[in-house]
C-alpha cells in the first residue's frame, strides 16, 4: 500500500491512544539525555513562533517528499508533536506504516506543553 501522510481516509481514524506519550514524559526524556528524535510536524511559520528545544522541523505537508531525511533514524525512537496532537498522530501512523517501529505522538501537542508550563521551549 502506498501511504501518503495526507491520505485522510486511512489516517484520520488512527487510534493514537497506544501511540501517545505525555508532554511530561517527553520533558523527562529530554532532561535525561535519552537518545531519540524529537520532531515538530507543524508548519515552518508555527516552528518559528515557538518550539521545544532540540526538535527538528519536518512539516506534515512535506513529509512524503522529505521522508528520506528520516532514513538514518529508522530504528531510533521518534517522538512527534504538533499544536494539538492531531497532525502528529497522522505522522506517527504514516511513519509506522512505512517501517518506522519506534514512533510516538506527544499527546496534546505543544499546547499541552505550554499549559503544563514545562521547561525547554524557545
Q: What does the alpha-carbon distance between residue 99 and residue 74 come to, in Å, rounded to a whole number? A: 7
- Identify whether the C-beta of residue 20 lies closer than 8 Å to the C-beta of residue 106: yes
Name the active-site residue from 27, 41, 57, 82. Answer: 82
Hey, which residues does 103 pair with through a beta bridge? 78
Using the structure block, give the residue that is written with the C-alpha cell 505550554: 114
- The question of whether 41 is a catalytic residue gets the answer no
User: Which sequence positions are flagged as catalytic?
Assistant: 82
Amino acid at each position: 500500500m502506498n501511504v501518503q501522510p495526507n491520505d485522510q481516509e486511512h489516517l484520520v481514524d488512527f487510534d493514537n491512544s497506544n501511540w501517545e506519550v505525555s508532554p511530561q514524559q517527553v520533558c523527562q526524556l529530554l532532561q535525561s539525555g535519552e537518545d531519540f528524535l524529537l520532531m515538530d510536524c507543524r508548519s515552518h511559520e508555527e516552528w518559528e513562533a515557538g518550539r521545544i528545544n532540540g526538535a527538528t522541523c519536518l512539516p506534515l505537508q512535506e513529509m512524503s517528499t522529505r521522508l528520506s531525511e528520516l532514513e538514518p533514524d529508522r530504528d531510533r525512537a521518534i517522538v512527534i508533536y504538533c499544536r494539538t496532537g492531531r497532525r502528529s498522530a497522522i505522522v506517527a501512523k504514516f511513519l509506522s506504516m512505512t517501517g518506522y517501529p519506534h514512533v510516538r505522538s506527544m499527546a496534546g501537542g505543544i499546547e499541552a506543553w505550554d499549559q503544563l508550563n514545562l521547561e525547554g521551549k524557545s
